[in-house]
Amino acid sequence: MKRETTNNDFSIKDCTLVAVATGLKARTLREVRSIADTISPSCIYYHFWGALLRSRFDDPEFPNDFASWASHSLHDKKLAERLAIINPMDFRDLEDLRKEVLEVIDERLDELDMPSWVDEDRQFYFVHSQIVVFDTKLKLTEPQDLLRNIDLMSLGSIFYHFIDARRRNPDKGNDFSRWLHSFDGQHDSLVRSINNIDPYFTTLHDIEREIKDIVQKYYRNEQ
């Protein structure tokens, strides 16, 4: 297959999310609602996406911290389920995501005669995130390099290029698809397949494996 060239080499980055305590905490659902209404967007980001970069995927049943707290601390399964099905990918930006969280909480508060509270050690601690980015020195120059090098990428690289990219890029797209699209549309079917991956209700390991499987299948069909 003829080697394709581009002036837009893909520099693979690695990253970590640094959790920074805000000093804000809540013992009741109403307090959570009040703080969530004004907290920094980076806090909303951390509580929805931060679990993916922690040492383990904490609670796959409740993928965001609000849902997990509602289940394990408030013991409000109904609220937990409603919060758990919120997919941040469905919202234009973090402010729209915040509004959805507030609406779900408001709906539940309207249903409760007396909202419960939790012990001090079970409070919801609001944390915001700061992303720290590293250069891995790994560069991709042609589309097949993605297949050759994906096993060399850390989970931080997958997070940065497939998830955090959606916050950074004007079109809300992932970096892999944007780069592949730069080859004059020659790999649009591959781009579409990668775009169809939902990164939220899963793990970084699964995302990495799914990208690899898609690229492998694509190049088998190209031969």
Let me know: does 8 contact 37? Beta carbons within 8 Å.
no
Distance CA 15, CA 204 (A): 13
Distance CA 106, CA 117 (A): 16
pLDDT tens digits, 138-151: 999 999 999 999 99
Strands 124-140 and 10-26: antiparallel
Per-residue pLDDT at 183:
92
* pTM of the predicted model as reported, rounded to 2 decimal places: 0.88
Distance CA 8, CA 112 (A): 55
| 3-class state of residue 76 by DSSP | coil
Question: What is the average per-residue pLDDT within 205-209?
Answer: 95
pLDDT tens digits, 11-64: 999 999 999 999 999 999 999 999 999 999 999 999 999 988 875 455 567 899
Q: Taking the CA of residue 95 as centre, how many other CA atoms within 13 Å lie in the half-sphere pointing to its CB?
A: 0
Count of residues making up the chain: 223
Let me know: does 145 contact 160? Beta carbons within 8 Å.
no
